[in-house]
């Protein structure tokens, strides 16, 4: 299963400049997802992080991983933000950064379901660049109905 940016926008409420997933290349409902983010010098955060040595902030790498978790969660329970649901990032464990992510990199985002129960999901996540580990984390998301 492949998702382009138009379908991704159906499953994530995020918009520019905070939509951090460009394409989903693999998705197995209830199990796993693989997606990517093309990192461009045009990203607004590079103006200040850091002007002479641009590095994607680690918290945004974790956010990109959380966004793919949200897509996998929505696909698994067959719901959409348009139905009044949202996935919140509610926790992260064992977060480790192994290499910087810089302009020109293609960040591969992977998440595997560890468990899901009553709308709370835990995922094992990895972000890589050219097969080299950039970040790993366990991410916890909660599905909530919003008004």
Q: What is d(CA 145, CA 116) in angstroms, rounded to the nearest whole number?
A: 17
Domains of the chain by start residue, with CATH? 5-145 (3.10.129.10)
Q: Within 13 A of 75's CA, how many CA atoms are on the CB side?
A: 22
pTM of the entire predicted model? 0.97
* Helices then strands, each counted (H, E), the chain: 2, 6
- Which positions are catalytic? 49
> For the CA atoms of 87, 37, 92, 34, what is the dihedral angle to 10 degrees?
80
Q: How do residues 67-82 score in pLDDT, each as one tens digit?
A: 999 999 999 999 999 9
Grade residue 1 by pLDDT with cuts at 50, 70 and 90. low
Whole-number pLDDT of residue 147 = 72
* Helix ranges, 38-117 (H): 58-77
Question: Exposed/middle/buried for 101, CB within 10 Å: 0-12, 13-18, 19+?
Answer: buried
């Amino acid at each position: 299963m492949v998702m382009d940016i138009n379908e991704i926008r159906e499953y994530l409420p995020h918009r520019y400049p905070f939509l951090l997933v460009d394409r989903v290349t693999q998705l197995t409902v209830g199990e796993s997802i693989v997606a990517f983010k093309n990192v461009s010098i045009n990203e607004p955060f590079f103006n200040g992080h850091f002007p002479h040595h641009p590095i994607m902030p680690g918290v945004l790498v974790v956010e990109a991983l959380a966004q793919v978790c949200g897509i996998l969660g929505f696909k698994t329970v067959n719901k959409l933000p348009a139905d009044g649901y949202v996935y919140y990032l509610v926790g992260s464990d064992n977060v480790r950064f192994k290499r910087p992510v810089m302009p020109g990199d293609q960040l591969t985002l992977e998440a595997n379901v560890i468990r899901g129960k009553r709308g709370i999901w835990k995922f094992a996540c990895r972000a890589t660049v050219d097969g080299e580990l950039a970040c790993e984390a366990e991410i916890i998301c909660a599905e909530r109905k919003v008004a």
